[in-house]
Amino acid sequence: EVQLVESGGGLVQPGGSLRLSCAASGFTFSSYWMSWVRQAPGKGLEWVANIKQDGSEKYYVDSVKGRFTISRDNAKISLSLQMNSLRAEDTAVYYCAREMGGHYDILTGHYYYYYMDVWGKGTTVTVSS
């Protein structure tokens, strides 16, 4: 069964740090781009970051640049999100997700993935004093 399981969430004070993990199973993890997506309480979905199969490319939403770091360990089949300088507005359920679909750019030789077809159940991060 294809599965993603997040862990590491919890209560942290503003300015603190937290490291989220996502364990993958049931598919060839090293073949996929992976993303983190979050959802604040009662709000919609917000993409946070993604990472290429070999970890050589990483991208972030502007609001977390310089504070969050996405990484992966293909040998351990896991994805991580290191979150520093946390703010109240970072309070959310954090989902890891597998990317799929998109198109291949012949000029750049880059495959651009557009969607997310496998999601974990999420882990809750609360930033509060």
Partner 1 sequence: EIVLTQSPATLSLSPGERATLSCRASQSISNYLAWYQQKPGQAPRLLIYDASNRATGIPARFSGSGSGTDFTLTISSLEPEDFAVYYCQQRSNWPSITFGQGTRLEIK
Single residue of 82, 119, 124, 126 touching partner 1 by CB under 8 A = 119
Question: What is 23-92 written as a DSSP string?
Answer: EEESS-GGGS-EEEEEE-TTS-EEEEEEE-TTSS-EEE-GGGTTTEEEEEETTTTEEEEEE-S--GGG-E
- The minimum distance between CB 129 and partner 1, in angstroms, equals 27
Residue 5, interface with partner 1 (CB under 8 A)? no
β-sheet bridge partners, residue 104: 111
Single residue of 72, 95, 125, 127 touching partner 1 by CB under 8 A = 95
Residue 100, interface with partner 1 (CB under 8 A)? yes
Single residue of 27, 47, 71, 124 touching partner 1 by CB under 8 A = 47
Return all residues near 70 (Cβ < 8 A) that are at least 6 apart. 36, 49, 50, 51, 58, 60, 79, 80, 81, 82
* Amino acid at the residue 121: K
The smaller minimum CB distance to partner 1, of residues 29 and 36, is found at: 36
Single residue of 19, 76, 87, 121 touching partner 1 by CB under 8 A = 121
**Residues near partner 1 (CB under 8 A):** 35, 37, 44-47, 50, 59, 61, 95, 100-102, 112-117, 119-122
